Structure 1
Amino acid sequence: MENFIVSARKYRPASFATVIGQASITNTLKNAIRNQQIAQAFLFTGPRGVGKTTCARILAKTINCRSLTTEGEACNECESCLSFNKSSSFNIYELDAASNNSVDDIRNLVDQVRIPPQSGKYKVYIIDEVHMLSTAAFNAFLKTLEEPPAYAKFILATTEKHKILPTILSRCQIFDFRRIGVEDIAHHLAWVAENEHVNADPDALHIIAQKADGGLRDALSMFDQLVSFAGDRLTYKQVIDNLNVLDYDYYFRITDFILEGNISQTLLTVNEIIDNGFDGQHFITGLGQHLRNLLVSRDEETVGLLETSANIRNLYLKQSAACSPDFLLKALDLSNNCDLSYKASNNKRLHLEIALMQLCNLASPVQSPAGPRGAAALAIPKEPAPASRPADLSPKPQEQPPLKTLQEPESGIPAANVSKAAEPLTSYPVKTTAPVRKESPAEVKTYTGVNIGNLMKPGSGAAAPSKENTLAEEPEVLPPDREVFTQHDLELIWRPMAETIAKDSPNLFNTLTCRIPVLTDGFKVVVTVDNKIQESEIFGKRAEILGYLRKELKNWGIQLETLVTDRPVESRKPYTDQEKFNAMAERNPAIKTLKDQLNLDIEM
């Protein structure tokens, strides 16, 4: 086609009614024209492709129309409208400030302003990209802009309002054009496709609208490009292939794998995405957007925030039902942190994979051989009945209340113990606080290495016991047990642990010892800190602290958690010299009297 016109020009709005997504601005301009309250200068600002220059031309055409319609639109029949449609109007001037930004160019414009219109009511000057004018040009334009002739109207358009002098802004009526919504762009593209006899899938048009990022001109340019490739049939697959967009299906699949705690399939899917040429940061950004969409899909009031087609919206609603709000919030935080630190990482792929494995662990922190998706807790096997106890085993200990369900999978056994699986493991001595249950010979297992691919799968704890392992030849061969301990036991070893772990760090020692740790259900030790800095100090030594506690308390199910509080806790011990003195003076007021009388300083 020799006289092909791109869609952005062919379907450019010619009236206020056909402007897309800027109803508040067009209504204001029409009312001003109807009421004969037209300002001397307008400033249209906003992102590219949202209709600034288009509205400037429509405004210039309409205020010169000799017979306006009842809706406040140009008639397209009078001499002024016809000359404008033919681009031959002598009353409308367009100046590109990007290439005409000198003082001389503005002086020439000012000289033209002095000449009244030969036909029509107003002379309209449209200055596009006005922020490109030099400071001297702005200053030369100030006086004319402030006190122009009654017949002169100025319409300035820019994408960067912050670069314009405040003295210019104060002389204009400012209209902020917003980005056009995805639904508005998709509907307009559907109308264009119908006029061009192109059969386009709604999902495909939504992808184009999202890729345009609020710019209708960009959307129409992409539409022309895709029609050139696909012809008169535009499908979703063709759009994502040509625009280098990650398919929704990838994000839905990888979210399902994350919810299952399936590390293997998650990493394989990411590898497929990278092999297809997508950047890792592009993927993690899209995953964050996907998680955000799942979060807003959980509430009927926020479903309207989804900027997708009806088919994709139904998929979001279905998958969001399987996600808890707590998981989605934590997953969003993880993906956002990964996105922020991605560029600073030397090994970007490993950085991305670590974040995904953390997401898998977040969704399924506990694995059980019997529970789906690792959701069930790992419970201690029940004590065998006395009749089934072999004669060579020690007598059954005194009855005790059943232990609470533990919160750590069998695969959480330290690597040091895993590597020595072939060697006999001696049982730990029994503490006086609670008796230790021994497993029957049928329960004795040999612990071997764990495959990363099966780490988060249901039933992926230790290796399955073989027939040789079930024989009662070495009943004393036991895995590290989870002994019950009390708050008192924890407090007894807490200070020695702090002295060992923080021997070279006085700040960490004070952080660990200024408050008493609290033992909660599931062998979870909660340490209260004052701020994020103290929390990060403990996190840096988390592995050493857990190793010490687990070894001394003979319990591999211990977990460590920090709690940041902004207010002092009653159990907080004196920390500074002043706090120690105040505590002593509170117990014995005579100490404060002695200090005041002798004028002593507080130095310990």
Structure 2
Amino acid sequence: MDESAQDPENEIGLFPAPPERQPAGAYRVLARKYRPSRFEDLIGQEPMVRTLKNAFDLDRIHQAYMLTGVRGVGKTTTARILARAFNYQLPARDGRPAVDRPTIHMNELGVHCQAIMDSRHVDVIEMDAASHTSIDDIREIVDSSRYQPAMARYKVYIIDEVHMLSKSAFNGLLKTLEEPPPHVKFLFATTEIDKVPVTVRSRCMRFDLRRVETEVMLRHLDAICGKEKVEINQDALLLISRASEGSVRDALSLLDQAIAHGAGAPIEAETLRAMLGLADRSRTIALFESLMRGDIADALDNLKDQYDLGADPAKILTDLAEFIHFVTCMKISAKTAQIASGQFEREKGAELAQKLAMSVLSRSWQILLKGIEEVKDSPRPLAAADMVLVRLAYAADLPSPEDVLRRLASSDPAPNGGPTRAPSGPSGGATALRQNAPRLASAQAAPAPRVAPQSSTVAQAAPAVVLQNFLELVALASEKRDIQTKTALERDVRLVRFEQGRLEFALASGASPALTAQLSRKLQDWTGQRWLVALSSAQGAPTLKEQADARENEKRIGVQAHPLVRATLDTFPGAVIVAVRGADDEETSPAQPLYDGAEARGDDITYADEAQEEDL
């Protein structure tokens, strides 16, 4: 037996298996080698340990315990420690008093301790409910519970993953669970407590085992590395702690993998990132800064570089979401984000927390949460991640709700649709770090709307946008990057009357009835003035789309009458004229008309002059 197993000062709890079950020279994984054997060895579960200590000291030991929590936090281990505490027995020796009562103070191995920890004690029965789900399995437990324990003080039943039992099995256990014999104790462990019937939960003392915090996990891993004489830097330990997500077993398994990967060499963070396919934290921070600046090209290059180095796109976005959470915590309270983060990360987090508004961080978090699921479900994860980053970069340019309300109250829209910045101070920083907001490239359909000169009596007010005609309104929608409104203006509006502050039109077939209210709100926001937008009973002029189609059709008819074209069509039966393009026209795809090609590219529509010379 290892001496550390009987050492009261042992912090980790090293209890190797007995010689008959552990062949000489066989390797034990760290998760088993350093499995806690006392309550003092459990890490991150102080509330539960304190409750159990008081219960045992007051001799108020419950008949059944329900242990819940995620994988690897110590549910089965706690159950075995409890079984050991129920049956702890230590004979008197060398002036030491005998111990013959349940206790959690187990500094030495008792009579039954080693057999219980090795799951081979006759009176401590462990059952996996995933493979024993039927009423017949529970009937065996109920029948055997009537008999006294063979050796120990209590007969203990440990049922792991108890939520896997069938409904009839749960019902068959209820009576015995409520009024068990005095020599029987039940210990249940589950990762899905909601699947356990409430009738079972109400008969148990429940303990929710928490995920182990990163700082506690770091200390635990560092102590194990010291005992194993493994050289590893703190950044690598931090990566393991984060990747384990609060599971001690996962952390020790990753540490085992890292030791084997290093083959005796010191373990560095870069080596660990390559092994686990994790993203570099500095690259994640650089990616976030690029997105907040609106530098999409740099962000996509960053993502591609990390992907080429082996990082998973979904993991990159998850790390990005974690950093956004970190910056948000820094913005709320610097003290809450100081634990388990590197110096560089703390400095960058503090800097970004000062510059970014809470609305930007919250919006980015929501976009990433949805985007991570899209990437995981996509057959092309990298392409899906690219689109999530594009969405996130353009969303960073949106004003916050308080900025919109402030602009509406003061009738002071941001000129040219540029990003609005929140006031400095503790309530918020700039809505984005961008210096040049990203914009979609588009051709101009008409001259840009003009700005009226400022009034001398209102020196502080922003100039109102004056629209001379309907085409300037379409151009303004394009400049604002509102493609949906721009398309509706071109396809659905039959213009009746247009003047500054007033727009009357009829709707084309299939148009949305809500277009009137939408245009009224958008015009007020874009121009800083209230507009009267009304539907007219008049037929109205053809829509811009219909006008463009008519001009295109006239071109085809005129060209088709040309003798050379007519001869060509006769020579090639079935040939049709797809598009007519002048020498100075913008080059378009020969497979589609001018309007459709411009729409597919997201550009403005170029309306050809009727007097333009047609060139075949």
Question: Same fold by TM (over 0.5)?
Answer: yes
TM-score, normalised on structure 2? Answer: 0.61
Q: Is residue 20 from structure 1 mapped to residue 50 from structure 2 by the alignment?
A: no
Q: For residue 322 of structure 1, report the CA deviation from its aligned partner.
A: 4.4
Contact 1:43 1:157 in 2 (8 A): yes
Tell me how large the CA RMSD over aligned residues is.
4.3
Identify the residue that residue 223 of structure 2 maps to in structure 1: 191
User: What is the deviation of 1:54?
Assistant: 0.8
Matched residue SS, 1:210? helix
State how far apart, in whole Å, the 2-side matches of 1:516 and 1:249 are.
Answer: 41
Deviation at 1:325, TM superposition (A): 3.8
Matched, 1:273 2:306: yes
Instruction: State the alpha-carbon separation in 2 of the partners of residues 323 and 515 from structure 1.
Output: 28
Counterpart residue number, 1:511: 517
Alignment partner of 1:62 is 2:85: yes
Q: Give the drift of 1:328.
A: 3.0
Distance, in Å, in 2 between the alignment partners of 1:187 and 1:132 is 35
Is 1:182 the equivalent of 2:214? yes
Match of 2:331 in 1: 298
Residues 442-591 of structure 1 aligned to structure 2 (within 5 Å):
492=500, 494-496=502-504, 499=505, 504-512=510-518, 517-518=523-524, 523=527
Question: Residue in 1 aligned with 2:159?
Answer: 127
Residue 148 (structure 2) aligned to one of 95, 111, 116: 116
**Distance change in 2, residues 1:426/1:184 (3 Å):** closer
Please list, as runs of the form range in 1=range in 2, the aligned pairs for 1:167-566 lying within 5 A after superposition.
167-232=199-264, 233-301=266-334, 303-304=336-337, 307-339=340-372, 341-342=374-375, 352-357=385-390, 359-360=392-393, 415-417=442-444, 492=500, 494-496=502-504, 499=505, 504-512=510-518, 517-518=523-524, 523=527
Is structure 2 residue 108 aligned with structure 1 residue 76? yes
Instruction: Note the C-alpha offset of 1:274.
Output: 2.9
The 8 Å contact of residues 180 and 214 in structure 1, kept in 2 or not, is answered as yes
CA contact (8 A) 2:67 2:189 kept: yes
2-structure distance, mates of 1:40, 1:101: 22
Deviation of residue 216 (structure 1)? 0.5
Structure 1 unaligned spans of 5+: 367-403, 419-424, 435-488, 530-542, 552-604
1:38-53 paired onto structure 2 within 5 Å: 38-53=61-76
Structure 1 residue matching 2:513: 3-state secondary structure: helix
SS in 1 for 2:66: strand
Assess, with a 3 A threshold, how the Cα gap between structure 1 residues 281 and 65 changes in structure 2: closer, same or farther: closer
Q: 1:42 to 1:83 in 2, by over 3 A?
A: same
The whole-number CA distance in structure 2 between the counterparts of 1:428 and 1:99 is 74
Runs of 4+ in 1 over 6 A off after TM superposition: 68-71, 343-348, 409-414, 425-434, 500-503, 513-516, 525-529
Letter in 2 for 1:34: D
Structure 1 pair 297–350 and aligned structure 2 pair: CA distance change class (3 A): same
Label 1:68 to 1:119 Cα distance change in 2 as closer, same or farther (>3 A). Answer: closer
Aligned to 1:100: 132
Whole-Å separation in 2 of the counterparts to 1:103 and 1:410 = 66
| Shift, 1:188, TM fit | 0.8
Per-residue Cα deviation, 1:413-433 (whole angstroms, up to 9, x for no partner): 973349xxxxxx999999999
**Alignment partners' CA distance in 1, 2:531 and 2:208:** 51
- Deviation at residue 17 of structure 1 after TM alignment: 0.7
More displaced 10-residue stretch of structure 1: 138-147 or 42-51: 138-147
Q: Match for 1:148 among 161, 168, 180?
A: 180
Matches of 1:10 and 1:59, distance apart in 2: 19
Change (3 A) 1:241 1:495: same
Equivalent position of 2:566 in the other structure: none
Is contact 1:52–1:177 with CA below 8 Å preserved after alignment? yes
Displacement after TM superposition at 1:221 (Å): 0.7
Amino acid at match of 1:100: H
Unaligned runs of 5+ in 2: 1-23, 90-98, 400-413, 419-435, 456-496, 534-598, 608-616
The 10-residue stretch of structure 1 (229-238 or 89-98) with the greater mean CA deviation from structure 2: 89-98
CA contact under 8 A between 1:53 and 1:128: conserved in structure 2?
yes
Identity score, percent: 30
Query: Which amino acid in structure 2 is aligned with residue 219 of structure 1?
Result: A
Q: Deviations over 1:493-535 (max 9, x none)?
A: 5423xx2677743522342477795367xx5679999xxxxxx
Provide the secondary structure at the position in 1 that maps to 2:181.
Answer: coil
**Equivalent position of 2:482 in the other structure:** none
Instruction: Kindly provide the amino acid, as one letter, of the partner of residue 508 in structure 1.
Output: A
**What is the distance in 2 between the residues matched to 1:115 and 1:78?**
24
Deviation at 1:154, TM superposition (A): 0.9
In structure 2, what residue type is equivalent to 1:64? N
**Contact persistence 1:49–1:218 (CA under 8 A):** yes
The residue that corresponds to 1:138 in the other structure is 170
One-letter code aligned to 1:492: Q
SS of alignment partner, residue 95 of structure 1: strand
Deviation digits for residues 70-113 of structure 1, max 9, x if unmatched? 98412435423455456554332222222233333222222321
Deviation string for 1:140-180 (max 9, x for gaps)? 22222121111111111111222222322222112111222
Write the distance in 1 (CA, Å) between the matches of 2:246 and 2:368.
25
Q: Is the 8 A contact 2:338 2:346 kept in 1?
A: no
TM-score, normalization: structure 1?
Answer: 0.62
- Contact 2:162–2:189 under 8 Å retained in 1: yes
Q: Read off the aligned partner of 2:303 and give its amino acid letter.
A: V
What's the CA shift string for 1:344-386, capped at 9, x where partnerless? 87986555445434554566799xxxxxxxxxxxxxxxxxxxx
Secondary structure in 2 matching 1:234 = coil
Match of 2:197 in 1: 165
**Secondary structure at the residue paired with 2:122?**
coil
**1-structure distance, mates of 2:437, 2:246:** 51
Q: Distance in 2 between matches of 1:321 and 1:298?
A: 7
